[in-house]
Amino acid sequence: MSPRYDSEWIARLLDGEERFGGADPREMLAAEGIAEGHAVVDYGCGPGYLTLAAAELVGAAGMVYAVDLEPSMVDLVSRRAADAGFSNVGTAASNGVNAPAPDGAADFVICALIMHYQETREERVAVVRDAARLLRPGGKAVFVQWKSEGGRSSGVTFDSLADIAAEAGLAIEGPYHVSDAQYKAIARKEAGN
Ligand SMILES: C[S@@+](CC[C@H](N)C(=O)[O-])C[C@H]1O[C@@H](n2cnc3c(N)ncnc32)[C@H](O)[C@@H]1O
């Protein structure tokens, strides 16, 4: 296992007080419109902090697909979802480009703190194009990203994300404040695309 996925890293990602400006993850996702019956892809789910919050919001009539390129994270999310009694969470390891979830079916794709893992612009474009593939027309991708360029997590600026989203055929809005260190951007797949 890469040291990046060690127990300290996992604990930090599951610590609600530290994350997204201390926002309650259910309230944060509900504010985006995630609700009963929706299909959601948690793209780069990590240990599943947002996956389980989304599963609670979409309920038994909805579905959350949690994908990550790290198999140990996928296993962890499966265990956490089962322990919490969720039967509406599907998990899959991904090659990082073609996330194994249905095409054009997602009401929402969550991309939280994953863009800086893509080392080149081409890799970033590939991920955003993949998010666009997963979305239904009218669906939206929610990006949360570090603000600083070249900081501890080499952030992706809103302008660079907007440029990439346009290339992937998504209309982007933002940046919106999440915390001093993070911003949010919303990328919509136009109805009819
Ligand atoms: C900082 S963690 C964030 C996890 C989760 N989104 C959260 O906010 O709690 C980033 C995760 O994204 C995953 N990841 C990065 N790039 C990915 C890609 N192209 N496809 C799938 N997973 C990816 C990493 O393996 C890691 O688990």
Which residue minimizes the CA distance to atom 23 of ligand 1?
Answer: 44
Nearest atom, ligand 1, residue 42 CA = 6
Q: How confident is the model at residue 1 (pLDDT cuts 50, 70, 90)?
A: very low
Q: Which residues pair with 40 in a beta bridge?
A: 64, 108
Q: What is the tens place of the pLDDT at every residue in 93-132?
A: 999 899 999 999 999 999 999 998 998 999 999 999 999 9
In this predicted structure, the answer to whether residue 151 has a pLDDT above a threshold of 80 is no
Residue 181 corresponds to which tokens in the numbers above? 């260190």
User: Which domains are present in the chain?
Assistant: 21-188 (3.40.50.150)
Residues with CB under 6 A from ligand 1: 13, 44-46, 49-50, 67-70, 73, 94, 96, 112-114, 117, 127
Residue 38 and residue 55: Cα distance in Å, rounded?
Answer: 9
164 CB-near residues (< 8 Å, 6+ apart): 121, 124, 125, 128
